[in-house]
Amino acid sequence: MDNTIIEHLACVEINECILKPPFHLVSNVQWNDKGLSFDGDISLYSNQIKKEDFVGIVPIQIKGTTSNKKTSKRNKIKHPVTKEDLEVYYKNGNGVLYFVVTINPNTYIRQAYYNILAPLDLKDLLIKLEANGNQSITIPFKKLESGSLEIICKQFLRTVEKQPKIYIEAGLDKKFEEYRIDYIRLQEETSFDLFEEPAYLYGVNEGIEIPLRTAKLQEVRTVLNEEVKIEDEEFNVKYEVRESEDRRYLLIEDSLIVEIIKETNKGKITLSKVKKLSSYLKCLKILKFLRDYNELPFTSSEFVATLDKKEDFSDVEDDIKVYKDIIGIFNQIGISGNYTLDDHENISELFNGLLSLFKQKQYQMLTYSENIDFENSLVQVIKLSKYIKVMVLFNKENNEYTDFFSEETLNKVAGLLPKREIKKYESEDIENDYWRVSIYSSQKLKIMHECANFKLDVIKKSFANKYHDVNSPNTINTALDYLNYFDLENDARYIEIAEDLISRYLKINPHDILGKINKYQINIRKFEGLSEKETDEVLDILEEAERENNKSICFACEVLLKNRSKAKRLFDTLDDEEQKSLIPYPIYNLFQGLKQ
């Protein structure tokens, strides 16, 4: 068939598509076009064909091609576009609505296909051609359904309006407050595929969208939380649904993975290594439900999975029982079911050890059991594995270990500090002979923090007046321990405990010099400086310390005043023992942080 006839028939087809009710489109198709890369345009009107209803002009390109295939049943075809044509379209800045019309050379049946080539599409195609050195590129075209051209023209104009060429060139290297993804999707499309269709990426600053580039979706992720009911038990499950071009994934509690291949609708189920006991137990219960009912227990997701080989999960009840036992032991010794186990943890050894030690009470397993005085050594640190240790309290009445960091322990065990030297066999008056102190104040904070059952909120509560006399002589040093740990961990909860202890201590002892100095160094950490009144008070303390030749106090004051050179000279005048005694205190951390 002659090329001129092919092109004329192609133009006839597009004109027929244009001339459809409600007749809002006017054809400006150029026959026998010998000009640049455009074959005319389409004028769009909102109502009648008159100036006040004019909406815009859509530049078009029409290509005809012969095909013996039944194109009416094909929703998409591919066709090459030349680099020089793409360059013209991009330079013009208004995009192009590109048509390819297939013509059966025997029956002359025609079918039109289209592709909206907005400025970002054109730039992306030119970048690809520049990279591979080719002079043409093959792109997909969608079937032009009868009566849909007006909607396509409207979408074309909306898309092109958002992609001024000058913005595309200017926005490449900028940073934006947010980014948005936009698709071209017609209301009539029922087979729209997010993974096949190109998307447009826009950068947004102060509400203004700047076109950046085209994008292709790789994966969609949806995170859901759902209350699931299985065998009269309700529990919350967090799961993530992922979908890519060829697969669907369901990730349950970061442990159970269901993977489906779209093409075959077959897949596999993978249960990963234990990370969190509570999550793993939920996954086992869901597996049992899937085995028993051949469906997943979720209602918020349309993800469907069934089991072909149910025998692979015949022992899941036994696993559920074991994990319930282990979680019970974790609760007993104060480890949360959401505690994250180390990736290198030997789960089998850990579980066997926990069951033997805490369920069967085989305390002789402890490597140092011969040295344990069960009558007096109530608090012990037990290493459960290479990665887990706990601080527990031995309950002599029940012959069992319990959580040291629990409110039950806080209310059952009291910390006592003698106010005077009490001789053996001398009668003791608890109220008058002892300070009541936090049961945790005698433990090293670093060792407690390393334990898997460590709970700072319980420790904080232990310093309330009910459990701790703030006027006891260990209050200042305890506060400084927590201030030191704040410097180490940068966790505001530690400085809150230190500040609370110092503030309450100063209410009782308002003129205590050490209390004031420590209050001021807390303020410097919190507010990066002292108020004018606080600075004057530090100067008064400094003058008094200079008169008494108390170099340690002088050093602390110069640090608070941020006089690094004076503080250093004072520190250098101290003897070795005095220097060693100062270094562990948080005031020395503050000194080290002063600028040279």
CB atoms within 10 A of CB 255: 20
Say if residue 240's pLDDT is above 50: yes
Question: What's the mean pLDDT in 297-323?
Answer: 86
* Of residues 217, 211, 121, the one with CA closest to residue 174: 211
Say if residue 167's pLDDT is above 60: yes
- Angstrom distance (rounded) from CA 304 to CA 276: 25
Task: Give the tokens for residue 318.
Answer: 């036994």
Neighbouring residues of 150: CB distance < 8 A, sequence distance ≥ 6: 20, 22, 24, 25, 44
Mean pLDDT of the chain: 90
Say if residue 511's pLDDT is above 70: yes
CA angle 290, 292, 293 (to 5 degrees): 70
pTM of the model: 0.74
Highest mean pLDDT among 169-178, 251-260, 301-310: 251-260
User: What local confidence, expressed as pLDDT, does residue 69 receive?
Assistant: 74
Query: Would you list the domain boundaries of the chain?
Result: 3-212, 219-314, 511-596
The CA-to-CA distance between both ends of the chain, in Å, stands at 88
Neighbouring residues of 484: CB distance < 8 A, sequence distance ≥ 6: 584, 585, 586, 589
User: What local confidence, expressed as pLDDT, does residue 273 receive?
Assistant: 93
- Weakest mean pLDDT among 33-42, 250-259, 346-355, 489-498: 33-42
User: What local confidence, expressed as pLDDT, does residue 194 receive?
Assistant: 78
Please report, for residues 140, 263, 405, the alpha-carbon distance to residue 44 in angstroms, rounded to integers and kept in the order given.
25, 41, 74
What are the residue ranges of helices labelled H in 451-512? 456-461, 475-489, 492-508
User: What local confidence, expressed as pLDDT, does residue 369 receive?
Assistant: 45
Say if residue 33's pLDDT is above 70: no
pLDDT tens digits for range 49-77: 999 999 999 999 999 999 887 655 678 99
User: What local confidence, expressed as pLDDT, does residue 36 receive?
Assistant: 66
Say if residue 423's pLDDT is above 70: no
Neighbouring residues of 84: CB distance < 8 A, sequence distance ≥ 6: 37, 135
The pLDDT > 90 percentage for the chain reads: 72
